[in-house]
Amino acid sequence: MPDLKVFRFVFVCLLIGGAIGTAMAFDAAARLRAAEAPPAAETDPDKPSSLHVETGQFVVPLLEEGRTEAFLLAEVALEMTDAGTAARHRADTSILRDIMLRHFFEAAEEGRVLPSKADPATLRDSLKHALNRELGTAAVAQVLFDRLLLQENVRR
């Protein structure tokens, strides 16, 4: 019976070696194809243009009589007026996020984003105005909502 154990051991080693060799061959072939491929075009459809700044998501609780009645979820991108301003704000979005978060909380306190009163166009325009006022220039050309949701937190 020891011959059967040796045979199994040799067979398993050959299988493992074959699998490793095959993987190495596929990896080498993929590297050759990548080296021979022409360079990709500069315009990537998933990459934002040089004027856009992604600012991320914001979640704002909407309070009524001390209770959280709903949440505002906004995902915002900004179109800036020039590439230099966009690059500067893309490197550090904290100033933009601070201005927008303050504006969303003010709108929530004033009741402008309640489910019965919410108007995305008005919110977009007022956010653009607040950003340009705080930045001191007309840096923001357009506010783009990638996502704007009102999640009610009340059981009816």
Q: Tens digits of per-residue pLDDT, 36-94? A: 656 544 545 455 568 899 999 999 888 888 888 888 888 999 999 989 888 988 888 88
Residues 80, 16 share a domain: no
The answer to whether 83 touches 120, Cβ cutoff 8 Å, is no
Helix (H, G, I), strand (E, B) or coil at 24: helix
Residues 65, 25 share a domain: no
Residues 117, 56 share a domain: yes
Residues 31, 69 share a domain: no
Residues 130, 71 share a domain: yes
User: Is residue 130, in this structure, part of any structural domain at all?
Assistant: yes
User: Is residue 44, in this structure, part of any structural domain at all?
Assistant: no
Residues 7, 63 share a domain: no
The answer to whether 69 touches 60, Cβ cutoff 8 Å, is no
Residue 79: per-residue pLDDT: 93
* Residue whose pair of structure tokens reads 């040089």 in the numeric block: 50
Residues 68, 26 share a domain: no
Average pLDDT, the chain: 79
Residue 99: per-residue pLDDT: 92
Tell me the pTM: 0.65
Q: Is the pLDDT of residue 98 over 90?
A: yes
Domain count, the chain: 2
Instruction: Quote the domain boundaries for residue 30.
Output: 1-37
Residues 133, 90 share a domain: yes
Residues 103, 139 share a domain: yes
**Nearest one of 142, 5, 20 to 79, comparing CA atoms:** 142
User: Is residue 46, in this structure, part of any structural domain at all?
Assistant: no
Residues 13, 59 share a domain: no
CA 70/CA 150 separation, integer angstroms: 7
Residue 75: per-residue pLDDT: 92
Q: Is the pLDDT of residue 124 over 60?
A: yes
Residues 69, 31 share a domain: no
